[in-house]
Structure 1
């Protein structure tokens, strides 16, 4: 048997955590076209109830495709339209390389850890609704 077909698929899991009013979405597994429903939908709903910030933690993501980048851009635009600070956490090459290859690392400016992202969000309590990226 070919081992490629016997390995378990690394499904995406989503956990939403409230950290003193900042919504943290922790994604783990693969973010690609097969991901299915929007894993950030619950976070966007939570952000509508609290406006302290939105952090997307990708440190447990094992594969990050173009649909993942599109997901982040849409979440960032949605947060900005509500004036909510947005941050991405990523320290794995599986996420950092696609972001760098597309130039989105400049627009999304990922932080290496959740505490770093929380510090940045709290330093900027609101964001302008328009952005250059």
Structure 2
């Protein structure tokens, strides 16, 4: 797991599905760390990707842009993508910016993993 300025990011694999876990603030100062991790995951050619934001305590506009870009990249590659978010600090900015409807949001990792498994069959 990589840590910088309060942000930690790392990837674990669950049943062949990469799960990218992020904790701390996701903003202009930290988004590049998450982008590098996601790039590495996408370059492996996964059958799907799950991004866990349950430990994110601040989501800024740069973080929102990162989520949109990851969603578009997964769509271009034809792979299921899901975001796990259950905190007000993440859900509120997504709702206010109306991005919540453009992202496959799930309240738990288990729900997100089940969703991408279903989508990839």
When normalised by structure 2's length, the TM-score is 0.89
Superposed CA deviations along residues 59-107 of structure 1, whole A, max 9, x for unmatched, are: 0000001111000011111111111100000000000000000111111
- C-alpha RMSD of the superposition: 1.8
**Structure 1: 5+ residue stretches without partners:** 1-8, 127-133
| Offset of residue 110 of structure 1 | 1.3
How many residues align structurally?
Answer: 118
| Offset of residue 118 of structure 1 | 0.5
Counterparts in 2 of 1:1-133, with a 5 A limit?
11-35=6-30, 37-125=32-120
Kindly report structure 1 stretches of 4+ aligned residues shifted beyond 6 Å. none
Contact 1:16–1:24 at 8 Å: present in 2 too? yes
Structure with greater strand percent: 2
